[in-house]
Structure 1
Amino acid sequence: MQTDALLQQIAFIKEIDKLKYILRRTKLFNSDRHENDAEHSWHLAMMTLILAEHSDQPVDILKVLKMVLIHDIVEIDAGDTFIYDTVKNHTNTDEELLAAKRIFGLLPEKQAKEFIAIWKEFEEGVTNEARFAKTMDRLEPLLQNASNNGGTWTEFNVPYEKVYAKKKAIKEGSAAIWEYAENLINENVEKGILKKQGSSS
């Protein structure tokens, strides 16, 4: 028997297929192809399963998985905001909140409220789960850019200081992962891929 809840859930499932068409600036590892939001979310979910043991605090892995899988769904309406964008701020916007309410609002009320709450928790970045989810979200494009000879850093002339400032959020969720990430950033400086401001070399 088809219930209203089931029909609402199917409508949501169909709607989020659009996430596969939202292209990110970053490219797949060792590739010229841009990653889409759905691929990004899947990769973060896998990274969460693999790297959760390195979280500095105990985390509810299922909640982290929910966060990384739904955090970019708002981009179906709001579009992808490049983390190094100099015009549009890469933070929670009214536009994204409207998107969250519309898209998650397709679900039955209880699920809609849960998903909106989880999305907000991720955006606020205060809880252990949100901090670790953001660690994953910052780490994946760092690994991609390092594999692509600088990737978006080179393409958009992003200096070391800006990369470091954005990536240090990794430390909030895991000191061990941050140590790895910081070393990787420094290696890219030494290779001349990431350039410090005021440096011509």
Structure 2
Amino acid sequence: MTSSDAGLLADQNPLPSGVDSRLREHLTFLIEVDQLKTVLRASPLAAADRRENDAEHSWHLALMVLTLAEYADEPIDVGHTMKLVVVHDLVEIYAGDTPIYDTELGESQQEREEAAADRLFGILPEDAGRALRALWDEFEARKTPEARFAKAMDRLQPLLLNWMAKGGTWRTPGVTAEAVRGRKAVIGEGSTKLWEAALELIDEGERRGWARS
């Protein structure tokens, strides 16, 4: 473990001394990432009058990958893509969520999340931490078919929630339908079919006045 381990959740009720040292690091990490359930996102839920949290978002993305893989423009390894979406937001435990339309906060996003990745994945045994960090880096780089489709899911999921909320974060001051299209265009890097559907939702949302023209 690294020096950044001070103040970990597991320190509040230390694991028994008889637990194997390598396993202890894995379990400490799993306890630490329970915090993902407390990181609120801007997106509203479709099924309840509250915002979703990062853990709910990640679960939804994994299910979307499983359900929508047939629409990927390139063949993808579904299991690997699910790993990418499960890992991609873990750094927000320390870095916090950066709303997609918050351009000011977005300026520091990469720096904050890189530091968070160093800290979080450093909790694990070195080889295990390196493996999860590689998944996070792959998602961020979007250079593989799996990463491109994973990113497409990350942008499509909140769009569906905003549609169900009759605007949701599209109603953020200063946000226009064109800005929504611009921020969601990355969907097209993973799936032409899903991007066409996304544009239908955005266009109809604009016609209904849920997003500013």
Report the TM-score, using the length of structure 1 for normalisation: 0.93
Identity across aligned pairs (percent)?
47
Instruction: Tell me if 1:108 matches 2:125.
Output: yes
Instruction: Tell me if 1:136 matches 2:138.
Output: no
For the 8 Å contact 2:98–2:109, the answer to whether it is kept is no
Cα deviation, residue 165, structure 1 = 0.3
Q: C-alpha deviations, 1:22-70, integer Å up to 9, x for none?
A: 0001110154201000000000001110001111111111211111101
3-state DSSP of counterpart to 1:88 = helix
For the 8 Å contact 1:63–1:129, the answer to whether it is kept is yes
Cα deviation, residue 86, structure 1 = 2.6
C-alpha distance in structure 2 between counterparts of 1:125 and 1:46, whole Å: 20
Matched with 1:153 is: 170
Among 190, 196, 200, which residue is 2:207 paired with? 190
Structure 1 stretches (4+) deviating beyond 4 angstroms? none
C-alpha distance in structure 1 between counterparts of 2:183 and 2:143, whole Å: 16
Matched to 2:76, the amino acid is V
3-state DSSP of counterpart to 1:82 = coil
Unpaired runs of 5+ in structure 1?
Answer: 197-201
* Matched residue count: 196
Instruction: Tell me if 1:37 matches 2:54.
Output: yes
Instruction: Tell me if 1:67 matches 2:84.
Output: yes
For the 8 Å contact 1:31–1:148, the answer to whether it is kept is no
C-alpha distance in structure 1 between counterparts of 2:61 and 2:128, whole Å: 22
Matched to 2:45, the amino acid is L
C-alpha distance in structure 2 between counterparts of 1:144 and 1:29, whole Å: 6
3-state DSSP of counterpart to 1:136 = helix
Matched to 2:154, the amino acid is D
For the 8 Å contact 2:92–2:113, the answer to whether it is kept is yes
Report the TM-score, using the length of structure 2 for normalisation: 0.88
